[in-house]
């Protein structure tokens, strides 16, 4: 197994999922803070992230844990409403101070920070003004990005702008399975997507303009990966077409090209423009210039793939999975080849250095009689996925891998019902216990993957 000598081995989290401290430190309210209060059964057992892992108070302990586990890079996100409680306007110095000490702690322990600006904490005040539908959203986000650059880029070099627009637009506003549980027409969600992409581009501009040092700036979308059913060239071509095409299942937002072509090429895919013609927002050349502001690195969160072959009609055909296929506690199929074909297809098309910004397995972990967490399936899962990634690394420029997640946390609609962590969290006592997979991952990091 061969990875670059400077391969980045990390773990990822996001703010609402781990922080807690919901009403503390001058924080404002965001969409999830507000909408989980409804107790409408949309979140597993009506749980909420008000306390979650209490990382807001325990971040020093968590950084020490990372150090003990040999983790070299930490991808975390900032809650916009800790920095600017109403999304625009006054800056909250207490929020700045919290992230300053987290960053200082990371740096002091030789852990490289990778900062994500937006992992879904849309300030409530901005949502009331239409949120992603409001044409001012890109400027509001740009203002926030400027503050982040001014305050943190002296110590943080690596940034991701937005995490998974497929989810914060698609799951939240198209499928209605994430807060605020809406199912809006395509014309509205396409407008949101355009504003979100502009917000990304404006953030890149602001980060760059106010940086205290040269930065690596990227983007962190997601998608299921189309996997060729066989090695035949026609099946590979079918998978590539399906991966970058209009989704054959689910809502329009579950796709790659709509979200990534504009960022890299400065234009939306023609096929989509034709297909969604009647629902498109106004798109100008200036917009596309903003959206395609050059980025340095390309992040992709990859969990799973789906089989595709070339159909008899010369079009990609989605295949059903084999009965009894291996799957996670979230019923996601185990498809290690997603970490081969995903980065390969992305690199072939976009030619940017690639980071796997999230990958991991939901398990029903518990503390065993000996006091440990024996999560052998997570070890097996990760070994298989990293094996595929190392194959991709022979053909594409793969720079790093972030395990999702550093620790068990509030998994959005799944509440605390799914555990993805390398570290087990007892949500009653807040005790952290590294799982077997955490010690295994430490060895992977130490040997740069050679031990797998
Ligand atoms: C990704 C998100 O979609 O998948 C993470 O970026 C999330 O925030 C992870 O936790 C797992 O998904 P879920 O729906 O099981 O929480």
Report domain extents, the chain. 8-446
Query: 290: which residues sit within 8 A by CB, 6+ positions away?
Result: 138, 198, 201, 202, 205
Share of the chain above pLDDT 90, in %: 99
Which residue's CA is minimally distant from atom 11 of ligand 1? 411
- 164 tagged catalytic: yes
pLDDT beyond 80 at 432: yes
Residues 403 and 76: their CA atoms lie apart, in Å, by 12
Residues 119 and 167: their CA atoms lie apart, in Å, by 10
pLDDT beyond 80 at 33: yes
Q: What is the pLDDT of residues 131-160, one digit of tens each?
A: 999 999 999 999 999 999 999 999 999 999
Residues 358 and 103: their CA atoms lie apart, in Å, by 20
Residues 226 and 232: their CA atoms lie apart, in Å, by 14
Q: What average pLDDT does the segment 333-358 reach?
A: 98
Where residue 1 falls among pLDDT bands split at 50, 70, 90? Answer: confident
Q: What average pLDDT does the segment 384-402 reach?
A: 98
Q: What average pLDDT does the segment 358-371 reach?
A: 98
CA 89, 93, 98, 103: dihedral to nearest 10 degrees?
90
Superfamily of domain 8-446: Glycosidases (3.20.20.80)
pLDDT beyond 90 at 198: yes
- Probe target for ligand 1 pocket from 404, 407, 408, 416, with the most ligand atoms within 8 Å of CB: 404
Q: What average pLDDT does the segment 205-215 reach?
A: 98
Q: What is the pLDDT of residues 260-272, one digit of tens each?
A: 999 999 999 999 9
Sheet holding 316-318, edge to edge: 225-228, 305-310, 316-318
pLDDT beyond 90 at 8: yes
Where residue 118 falls among pLDDT bands split at 50, 70, 90? Answer: very high
Residues 301 and 139: their CA atoms lie apart, in Å, by 26
Do 335 and 233 touch, CB atoms closer than 8 A? no
Residues 424 and 367: their CA atoms lie apart, in Å, by 8
pTM listed for this prediction: 0.98
Q: Of the listed 164, 175, 206, 293, which one is catalytic? A: 164
Q: What average pLDDT does the segment 330-350 reach?
A: 98
Which residue's CA is minimally distant from atom 9 of ligand 1? 411
Q: What average pLDDT does the segment 330-348 reach?
A: 98
Mean per-residue pLDDT of the chain: 98
Q: What is the pLDDT of residues 50-89, one digit of tens each?
A: 999 999 999 999 999 999 999 999 999 999 999 999 999 9
pLDDT beyond 80 at 274: yes
pLDDT for the residue 239? 98
CA of 212 to the centre of ligand 1 (A): 32
Q: What is the pLDDT of residues 241-266, one digit of tens each?
A: 999 999 998 899 999 999 999 999 99
The verdict on the CB of residue 412 being under 6 Å from ligand 1 is yes
The verdict on the CB of residue 121 being under 6 Å from ligand 1 is no
The verdict on the CB of residue 164 being under 6 Å from ligand 1 is yes
């Amino acid at each position: 197994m061969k990875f670059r000598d400077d391969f980045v081995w990390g773990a990822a989290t996001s703010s609402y999922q781990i922080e807690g401290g919901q009403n503390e430190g001058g924080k404002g309210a965001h969409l999830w803070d507000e909408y989980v209060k409804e107790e409408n059964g949309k979140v597993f057992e009506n749980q909420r992230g008000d306390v979650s892992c209490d990382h807001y108070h325990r971040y020093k302990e968590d950084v020490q844990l990372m150090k003990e586990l040999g983790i070299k890079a930490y991808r975390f996100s900032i809650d916009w409403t800790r920095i600017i409680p109403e999304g625009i306007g006054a800056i909250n110095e207490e929020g700045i101070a919290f992230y300053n000490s987290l960053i200082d702690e990371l740096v002091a322990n030789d852990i490289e920070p990778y900062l994500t600006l937006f992992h879904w904490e849309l300030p409530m005040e901005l949502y009331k003004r239409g949120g992603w539908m409001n044409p001012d959203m890109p400027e509001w986000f740009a203002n926030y990005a400027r503050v982040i650059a001014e305050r943190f880029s002296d110590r943080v070099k690596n940034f991701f702008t937005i995490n998974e627009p497929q989810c914060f637009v698609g799951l939240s506003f198209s499928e209605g399975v994430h807060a605020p549980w809406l199912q809006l027409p395509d014309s509205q969600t396409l407008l949101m997507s355009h504003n979100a992409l502009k917000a990304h581009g404006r953030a890149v501009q602001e980060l760059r303009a106010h940086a205290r040092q040269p930065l690596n700036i990227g983007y962190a979308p997601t998608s299921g990966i189309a996997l060729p059913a066989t090695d035949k060239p026609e099946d590979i071509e079918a998978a590539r077409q399906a991966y970058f095409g209009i989704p054959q299942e689910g809502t329009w937002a579950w796709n790659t090209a709509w979200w990534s072509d504009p960022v890299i090429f400065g234009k939306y895919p023609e096929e989509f423009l034709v297909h969604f013609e009647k629902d498109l927002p106004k798109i100008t050349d200036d917009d596309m210039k903003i959206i395609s502001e050059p980025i340095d690195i390309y992040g992709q969160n990859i969990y799973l793939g789906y089989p595709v072959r070339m159909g008899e009609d010369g079009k990609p055909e989605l295949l059903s999975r084999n009965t009894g296929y291996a799957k996670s506690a979230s019923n996601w199929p185990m498809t290690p080849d997603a970490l081969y074909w995903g980065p390969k297809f992305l690199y072939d098309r976009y030619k940017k250095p690639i980071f796997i910004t999230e990958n991991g397995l939901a398990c029903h972990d518990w503390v065993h009689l000996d006091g440990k967490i024996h999560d052998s399936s997570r070890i097996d899962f990760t070994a298989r996925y990293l094996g595929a990634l190392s194959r991709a690394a022979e053909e594409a420029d793969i720079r790093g891998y972030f395990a999702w997640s550093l620790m068990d946390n509030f998994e959005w609609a799944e509440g605390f019902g799914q555990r993805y962590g390398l570290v087990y969290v007892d949500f009653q006592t807040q005790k952290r216990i590294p799982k077997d997979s955490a010690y295994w991952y430490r060895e992977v990091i130490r040997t740069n993957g050679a031990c797998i």
